[in-house]
A = this chain, B = another copy of it.
Amino acid sequence: MYSSELLKGTLSTLILKLLDDNGRLYGYEITQRVKDLTQSRIQLTEGALYPALHKLEAEGLLATETEYIGKRVRKYYRLTDLGKQAASDKVAEFADFVRTVLGVLNPKPGPQLGFVTP
């Protein structure tokens, strides 16, 4: 688990990319996916996740469909066309940001950025 204010600014990117990869997901599922994909290193809190989802929906990047599993509600989210664009933009922006920061943190250029597999 991270001592992360690092997550700030990354959450929406994570959400958008996961939806881009998976078609549709509901909130709880997103927390589990992230947990699985990160070996529990990132555990999204619901207090961060749901407001973020609502915000993305309000911005027109996500659309929802509600389903019932028995009596239990599930709210699926999927990307709108705008959302698809945003997903790829934000992933690219994050990658670029990381490259930039690593350029400062890692000033000695081997091949380039230290992210080379051994």
A interface with B by C-beta (< 8 Å): 2-10, 13-14, 17-18, 21, 34, 37-38, 41-42, 91, 93-105, 107, 111-117
Question: Contact between B18 and A9 (Cβ–Cβ < 8 Å)?
Answer: no
- Bound form: Cα–Cα A37–B100 in Å: 8
18 A-B residue pairs with Cβ-Cβ distance under 8 Å, sorted by A, are: A2-B93, A4-B97, A5-B9, A6-B94, A7-B9, A8-B8, A8-B9, A14-B105, A17-B105, A21-B107, A37-B104, A38-B100, A41-B96, A42-B101, A94-B101, A95-B102, A113-B117, A115-B116
Number of copies of this protein chain within its complex = 2
Question: Contact between A17 and B97 (Cβ–Cβ < 8 Å)?
Answer: no
